[in-house]
Amino acid sequence: MKRILIASLLAMTGVTSAYAGDVKVKDAWTRATAAGQDSAMVQLVITSKKAAKLVGVACKDANTSEIHSMVMEGELMKMRQVDSIDLPAGKAVDLGEAGYHLMLIGLKKPLEAGKKTNCEMVVRGADGKDTKVQVISKIKPLAESAHHEHAHHH
């Protein structure tokens, strides 16, 4: 009997290994880019089991990757680079909803719909240790635009 119990416990622990060291990313996506466009925005949902901070990002399809926050200053939406995003323990942080996104700058090639782009995020735990988390973002077609873009019809 005991052996079966251990096997099922192991099976359960196998599931959580999707956490890269305790950090899980889901729903990562970006939009296909038009020719000549050299930057792209990635949104995703990140959950860290322990309190941590997202401190960096590197994407192989871009020369530079930054963490940006969108701040409303009066009527203006301003983007500014931030050094880190707090990840409260066990809480899913939706970068898009929280007003953050990853910015890929200096794209080496256009992002094609239906393909994927790989990034690596650096998450720093309270102990000061950095964990690298692989993020594979789906590239959505440009046509699948957000609702507010349809408001431009005159």
Q: Are 25 and 135 in contact, with CB atoms under 8 Å apart?
A: yes
Q: What percent of the chain has pLDDT over 90?
A: 69
Quote the pLDDT of residue 3: 56
Any alpha helices (H) in the chain, and if so which ranges?
2-15, 95-98
Residue for token pair 């990034």:
119
51-81 residue pLDDT tens: 999 999 999 999 999 999 988 889 998 989 9
More confident residue, 140 or 143: 140
Quote the pLDDT of residue 21: 64
Taking the CA atoms of 143, 144, 150 and 152 in sequence, report the sign of the dihedral they define.
Answer: negative
Backbone angles phi, psi at 68, to 5 degrees: -120, 150
Q: Which domains does the chain have, with CATH numbers?
A: 19-141 (2.60.40.1890)
